[in-house]
Amino acid sequence: MPKILVIDDDRSICETLDLYLTEEGYEVKTALTGTEGLNAFVETVPDLVILDIRLPDIDGFTVLEDLREEDENVKVIMITAFHDMETTIKAMKGGAFDYIHKPVNVDELDMAIRKALKAREMERKIDGLLMEPSRQFKVGDIIGTGREMREIFKTVGVVSQSRTTVLIQGESGTGKELIAKVIHNNTSPDEPYIAVNCSAIVETLLESELFGHEKGSFTGAIARKLGKFELARSGTVFLDEISEMSVNLQAKLLRVLQEMEFERVGGKDRVRVNARIVTATNKDLKALVQEGKFRDDLFYRLNIVSIHIPPLRERRDDIAPLIEYLLTKINRDLHKRVIGVSDEMMAVFLKYPWPGNIRELENLLIRAVVVAKGQVLGRSDFPELEEDLAAGKGTPDVVPAAGASGQRLMTLDEVEEQYIRKIISEYGDRTKGELCEILGISRPTFERKLEKYKLHFERE
Ligand SMILES: Nc1ncnc2c1ncn2[C@@H]1O[C@H](COP(=O)(O)OP(=O)(O)OP(=O)(O)O)[C@@H](O)[C@H]1O
Ligand SMILES: [Mg+2]
C-alpha cells in the first residue's frame, strides 16, 4: 500500500485528504508544520508527499529542498492558493513533481498522485534492474591467449583499482563492451552499469538521456527525467561509439569531465557525477582528432587509459579457445550438446578474415548449433561459408600454398567486399538489420561498407 504524507497547516484540509486518500487505499500520515512534516518523512519514508507552500514555521520551498536532501528522488506534489506563474516555476525548479491549486480538485489530485506513484515505481524498477549486479562476467570469461590480450587483462586489473576514464578501441565485435563490463564488475559490481550508444539517437535526445531534463524544458518533457550520469550513481557510464557524438555534446561532455558536475537540461541545479566513464569506438579517434572531427581536449580526457583490442584475424590463436568457450555458452542457452567443430571447419575458421570479429564467430556458431544434427559441426552446418568455399573465393581459400606462383593474393578489402556482395545476393530478401546480424557488424558499419564498396541494399 503506497504511503502518502500530507503536510498542510490547514487542519481541515489534512483531515479531508486523510479521509479521502485512506478510502482510496493509501496509507496516510499528516503533519501541520514543516518541522513536523520533515520528522514524519524521515520516520515513515513515504512514497509521495503532498506539500502546502505556506506553512507556519518553514516555508514550503525550504521544506521541499530539505525533503530532496533526504531523498533526491522524492515525489512531491505542491499545493497552494497562489496562482502565479512565478510560484509554479519556482516549485517545479525546486524539484516538485507536480503542482496543484487550492481549492483542490479531486480529479486533478488523483491524476497527479497516480502519475507520481507511477514515476516512483518506474524509478525503483530501473534501479532494481540496474542494481542487479551482472556478475556473470569475470576477467576469466574473456578469452585471450596472446601477449596483447594478456596486457589488456593487466590494464583491466589496474584500472579497476581506480576510477579513471578508459577509452576502449577496436573493430566491431572485438569485445569492447565486454571489456567495459568487466572493468565495471571489478570496480563497482553493486552499482549500476549503464550503456549509452551515442550513434543510436539524435543529438537532443542524447543530451537529455545523458544529463536528464527538468519538466517543461522542451516540448514533450512532461516530467523530470534523470539522466544516465545521475542514474549510474557510483557505477559506470559506458558511452559506446563515442566518435559519433556531435561537436556540441562533445563540449558538454568535456565540461562534465573537467568539473564532474553538470545541470539537467532546462535546470539550474548542479548535479555531481560520481560514475566512472568508459568510452568505446571502432574508429581511429586520434585520426578523427587530426581531421578536426573530434575535439582534441576531449580526446585527451577520455584517453587517460586506453585499451586497444586487436581484431580476431590478428590473434588467430584465440579462435580455437573461443570456439570452445562460445559453444559451452551456446549449449547452455539452447540446451544443446555440441562438442566442437570438424577439423576441416577449424581449418577454414583459422584462415577466415573475420570482418565481424568475435560477434561474427558467435553468430555463426549460434546458427550452426540451432540447425546442427550431429555433435560436431561440419561444413553442412555453415552454409554461409560453404558457398564461398565452393566458389573458391571470398573466404578461406584466398591464400594459395606458399610458393604457388603467378597468382596475386587478395587483399583483406577485396575479401570483405566479395563476402558482403555474396551475402547481399544470397540474402537479398532479408532486412538490413538481419544482414548486419549475419555479418556481425553494426548498422553504421554496414552503411559505411556499402558506401566504400559502392554496393546497394535498400530493404530496411
Ligand atoms: N575475448 C572474448 N572472449 C569471450 N567472448 C568474447 C570476447 N570478445 C568478445 N566476446 C563476445 O563477442 C560478442 C561481441 O562483443 P562486444 O559486444 O563486446 O563487441 P563490441 O566490440 O562492443 O562490438 P561493436 O563494436 O559491434 O559494438 C559478445 O557476445 C561478447 O561476449
Ligand atoms: Mg559494442
Name the pLDDT band for 127 (thresholds 50, 70, 90).
low
Same domain, 342 and 276: no
In the predicted structure, residue 178 carries a pLDDT above the cut 90? yes
Instruction: Provide, rounded to the nearest whole percent, the portion of the chain with pLDDT above 90.
Output: 44
Q: What is the pLDDT of residue 392?
A: 46
Domain count, the chain: 3
CATH of the domain at 53: 3.40.50.2300
Task: Find out whether 215 and 92 touch, Cβ atoms under 8 Å.
Answer: yes
- Residues lining ligand 1, Cβ inside 6 A: 142-144, 170, 172-178, 282, 322, 325, 358-359, 362, 442
pLDDT exceeds 90 at position 3? yes
| 327 lies in the same domain as 299 | no
pLDDT of residue 140: 53
**Residue 358 pLDDT:** 96
- 125 and 179 within one domain: no
Distance 155 CA to ligand 2 centre (A): 19
Q: What integer is the mean pLDDT of 451-460?
A: 84
Q: Regarding predicted confidence, which is higher, 282 or 391?
A: 282
For ligand 1, mutation pick of 244, 359, 449 (most atoms within 8 Å of CB):
359
pLDDT digits (tens, 9 = 90+) for 205-260: 899 889 988 887 777 777 778 899 999 999 999 999 999 999 999 999 999 999 99
Is residue 460 in a domain? no
In a mutational test of the pocket of ligand 1, which residue from 148, 149, 174 has the highest number of ligand atoms less than 8 Å from its CB? 174
Those residues whose beta carbon sits under 5 angstroms from the ion ligand 2 are 177
Nearest CA to ligand 1 atom 31: 178
Indicate if 85 and 179 belong to the same structural domain.
no
Q: What is the pTM of this model?
A: 0.60
* Lowest mean pLDDT, pick from 65-74, 79-88, 237-246: 79-88
- What CATH number is associated with residue 430? 1.10.8.60
Q: Which ligand is nearest to the CA of 143?
A: 1
Neighbours of 174 (CB within 10 A): 25
274: CA distance to ligand 1 center in Å? Answer: 27
Mean pLDDT value across the chain: 85
**60-64, 102-106, 176-180, 247-251: which range is least confident on average?**
102-106
Which residue range is the domain that position 175 belongs to? 139-310
pLDDT tens-digit map of 319-348: 999 999 999 999 988 888 888 898 888 888
Q: What pLDDT score was predicted for residue 277?
A: 96
Residue of 152, 172, 178 to test ligand 1 pocket, by largest number of atoms within 8 Å of CB: 178
- The band of 69, judged by pLDDT with boundaries at 50, 70 and 90, is confident
Residue 393 Cα to ligand 1 midpoint, Å, equals 27
Q: Could you check whether the bond before residue 103 is cis, i.e. omega within 30 degrees of 0?
A: yes
pLDDT for 336 equals: 87
Q: Which atom of ligand 1 is nearest to the CA of 177?
A: 18
Residue where a domain terminates, one of 84, 104, 129:
129
- Using the atom order of ligand 1, give the atom closest to the CA of residue 240: 27
In tens, the pLDDT along 368-415 reads 999 888 888 988 888 888 765 665 433 444 444 444 444 467 788 888
Q: Which ligand minimizes its atom distance to the CA of 195?
A: 2
Whole-number Å distance, alpha carbon 356 to ligand 1 midpoint, is 10
The ligand whose atoms approach the alpha carbon of 366 most closely is 1
Which residue puts its alpha carbon closest to atom 29 of ligand 1? 359
